Structure 1
Amino acid sequence: MTPAELSRTVLHAVRRAVEAGELPGVSVPGRAVVAPPGPGGRGDYATTIALRLAGAAGQPPRRVAEVLRAYLVEADGVTDVVITGPGFLNLTLGSAAPAALVAEILRRGPRYGHAPTAPGAVDLDAPDAPAPDAPAPLVLTCAHEPRAVVVAQAAARILRSQGTPARTRCAAEPHPAWTAALGARVDAFGEGGSGETAARIRPVPAPGGVLRLGRDAGRWALLHPAPHDRPRAGEGHLVQRESNPLFRVRYAHARSRALLRNAADLGFAPDAAADTGTAAGAAPHAAPATAPAAVTADARPGTTGIPGTPAGPADAPAPRALLAALAAHPRVLAAAAEHRAPDRLARHLVVTADAALPFLPTVLPCGAEKPSAAHRARLALAVAAGTVLAGGLTLLGIDAPDHL
């Protein structure tokens, strides 16, 4: 069960309770947010739907949660529902849930998390011509300044990924140096029409020297900080070490691609459904993938693959953090679009990479060990992580190379 399917399951439970007269006065909401449980929570996902409905139902949140729990425990794919705190519903899914999530990511590829109505192209930099009956696009207006242009450009891409028509407009044409160094472009410049639906992009301006970083590092330097934070243009964005968040994100993606090549050499391919119980956990034995040349010598089992960064034993518990990050990706994209905040996506990519790096060394067989169903399932999870990282970087206008 994917997060979207679980959300629909929660709404179905609400609908059944309303129809049975157990929640009088309640209207079934349009969506139910499910997320990894916070401190004190249990299971795979939690929802605050009972707290949302308590006022309309005229009942305490915990009583509403008890009503919904009776329906949720009967749902296919849900193995347990625990109520915590004032009325949080904590749901545990069946063992096939990680496999379903990974299979969905592999099926959708870089478009995982995109709305079904989004344009077909993965590169969403150029908006399609609007259909005659389509709603007017949201116009993101920005100052004639490189960071504002880059943030507006990335925000428009993310909006389009969520099915919202969006265009960018700057007060004047971006300087050719911005385009050459950062790929900074807008759809139009000058004064807009009176009928436009506009939203202003107002980040703290870029510091001097950001153009020297080049396209990928420069865009990351401008997009990763929150809009109200002043970006830094230091050489730290270029170094290939763990202190550089962009390097960790791109390296985790490159490692996942290297694992796919290594597995092909060993004669096996990813299979999300091969052995879900073991795929969600780390391997009993681990072997490193072929890492990028700059760090190959220090990539060992039981490490993140980044020199000097221990990550615990190879038989560590299931990578719940990685599965949670992958499951949260659609929700992060939706929030980044709603708030026109590419920094939310950039920071989530760092979270995903940091969760993936300790897992990646556990994927391949060790020594004379033969590839098994568990190895195929773990490889599928690794490829899914790389797919999410590549898709996110693409939306930010940053390359995701297979080799670093």
Structure 2
Amino acid sequence: MNPADLSHLLVRAVRGAVEGGELSAPVPERVVVERTRPGGVGEYATALAFPLAKAAGLRPAEVARLLAGRLAGEPGIRSVEITGAGFLNFELGGVRGEGVVRQVEQAQQVMQGRLCRGGDFVGAGPVDREGVVREVVRRIRCSQGLETGTGTGTGPGPAVPPAVPPVVAPLTRRDTADVLRRFDAGTVRWTMLATPPRETPAFGPALAVQHESNPYFQVRYAHARSRALVRNARQIGLTSRAGEVGDTAGARALCDALGDHPLVLEAAAHHGEPDRLARHLGVIADALLDFQYGVLPLGDEKPEAAHRARLALAEAAGTVLAGGLTLLGVEAPELI
């Protein structure tokens, strides 16, 4: 079970309640599931009960109890708890190595198909921040099936109107004049996109440093490490195969980060904020770099199924990093 699966399961629970006559409300096409805030209950939460309750003329707590009853005992859901006036909180089951890898493989195939139908970059100027942000938002929305190259909806049901990013702050006059002299084009583009649209990007000396404190370097370095793991595994005859990765260091954090990725892409598409994607790539990169040390056999250790599963998870992380960097229009290096 991953957050995207949970979202689909919630839609199915609402549909079942409506068809069973327990609830009179429109069935949503998708449900927003978010990470529980620090100090909250469980891993994920949703306010789904509130709009449903308004439509049905019920209290949110009543709707939450109805949905919790339908979801309790579902495979992959460890617990469901209701907090506040009707928030649903979920604890999912264990480390989800195999499921996360399958999710990444399927999502990548779908995203590539959507981008082939109109998601190519149109070529905003390298220091035209508004053009770059709008270009990337359109591409992210194409990846989610919310637009084609002409800006029309592609999924079932009514077309989704194109997202208009919030006001995009331009570069300062000085940066517009000489930022490409001080930094390479990839650094400039990343910084423009990783900064929330309403804020003015800051181009300081730290952007040129190859260090973990530099998110742009860290994300690209993590991708390169994922590719290096694959090359090193090939040298010892180890191939990847999706499976359970065990409780090796960093496995849970990496599974959680990859599991959250579809939700982050959806939020970036709907809000017109590519900085959400850039920040989350940093989360995945940090998790992968912590996880990498347990992927390959050490010393005289013989390759086992767990090593193949960990390699598959590391490959999946590299795939997500490459896909995210591609959406942002930044190179995903094999070596760094």
Q: TM-score, normalised by structure 1?
A: 0.70
Q: Hey, what's the Cα distance between the residues in 1 that align with 2:166 and 2:19?
A: 45
Q: Work out which of the residue numbers 104, 117, 121 in structure 2 matches 1:125.
A: 121
- In 1, are the aligned partners of 2:254 and 2:287 still within 8 Å (CA)? yes
Q: Work out which of the residue numbers 202, 206, 216 in structure 1 matches 2:186.
A: 216
Does the C-alpha gap of structure 1 residues 231 and 52 become closer, same or farther in structure 2, counting only changes over 3 Å? Answer: same
Residue number in structure 2 paired with 1:30: 29
1:63, distance to aligned residue in structure 2 (A): 2.6
Residue number in structure 1 paired with 2:256: 324
1:108, distance to aligned residue in structure 2 (A): 4.4
One-letter amino acid of the counterpart of residue 100, structure 2: L
Residue number in structure 2 paired with 1:180: none
Percent sequence identity is 47
Q: Which moved more, 1:50-59 or 1:232-241?
A: 50-59
1:104, distance to aligned residue in structure 2 (A): 2.4
Residue number in structure 2 paired with 1:176: none
Residue number in structure 2 paired with 1:19: 19
Please tell me whether residue 205 in structure 1 is matched to residue 187 in structure 2: no
Provide Cα deviations, 1:262-285, integer angstroms capped at 9, x if missing partner.
111222122112x35x0xx32xxx
> What are the within-5 Å matches in structure 2 for residues 335-346 of structure 1?
335-346=267-278
If asked which structure has higher relative contact order (CA below 8 Å, sep 6+), I would say 2
Does the C-alpha gap of structure 1 residues 265 and 106 become closer, same or farther in structure 2, counting only changes over 3 Å? Answer: farther
> What are the within-5 Å matches in structure 2 for residues 136-155 of structure 1?
146-155=128-137
1:151, distance to aligned residue in structure 2 (A): 2.1
Please tell me whether residue 4 in structure 1 is matched to residue 4 in structure 2: yes
- In 1, are the aligned partners of 2:118 and 2:142 still within 8 Å (CA)? no
Task: Give the secondary-structure state (helix, strand or coil) at the position aligned to 1:359.
Answer: helix
- In 2, are the aligned partners of 1:319 and 1:359 still within 8 Å (CA)? yes
Q: Work out which of the residue numbers 152, 156, 160 in structure 1 matches 2:138.
A: 156
Task: Give the secondary-structure state (helix, strand or coil) at the position aligned to 1:222.
Answer: helix
Task: Give the secondary-structure state (helix, strand or coil) at the position aligned to 2:290.
Answer: coil
Residue number in structure 1 paired with 2:157: none
Q: Hey, what's the Cα distance between the residues in 2 that align with 1:144 and 1:220?
A: 11
Does the C-alpha gap of structure 1 residues 74 and 18 become closer, same or farther in structure 2, counting only changes over 3 Å? Answer: farther
One-letter amino acid of the counterpart of residue 32, structure 2: V
Q: Hey, what's the Cα distance between the residues in 2 that align with 1:202 and 1:372?
A: 52
Q: Hey, what's the Cα distance between the residues in 2 that align with 1:98 and 1:64?
A: 33
Q: Work out which of the residue numbers 310, 328, 333 in structure 2 matches 1:396.
A: 328
Indicate the structure with greater helix content.
Answer: 2
Task: Give the secondary-structure state (helix, strand or coil) at the position aligned to 1:153.
Answer: helix
Residue number in structure 1 paired with 2:82: 83
- In 1, are the aligned partners of 2:122 and 2:135 still within 8 Å (CA)? no
Residue number in structure 2 paired with 1:102: 101
Q: Work out which of the residue numbers 259, 271, 296 in structure 1 matches 2:241.
A: 271
- In 2, are the aligned partners of 1:160 and 1:166 still within 8 Å (CA)? yes
Between Structure 1 and Structure 2, how many residues are aligned?
A: 320
Q: Hey, what's the Cα distance between the residues in 2 that align with 1:198 and 1:386?
A: 28
Where in structure 1 do 4 or more consecutive aligned residues deviate above 6 Å?
A: none
Q: Hey, what's the Cα distance between the residues in 1 that align with 2:21 and 2:29?
A: 19
Q: Hey, what's the Cα distance between the residues in 2 that align with 1:344 and 1:376?
A: 31
Provide Cα deviations, 1:188-244, integer angstroms capped at 9, x if missing partner.
xxxxxxxxx895885222224221212211211221111222212333222111121
Q: Hey, what's the Cα distance between the residues in 2 that align with 1:122 and 1:390?
A: 19
- In 2, are the aligned partners of 1:209 and 1:233 still within 8 Å (CA)? no
Q: TM-score, normalised by structure 2?
A: 0.83
Provide Cα deviations, 1:331-376, integer angstroms capped at 9, x if missing partner.
2222222233222221221122122221122212221111111111
- In 2, are the aligned partners of 1:143 and 1:202 still within 8 Å (CA)? no
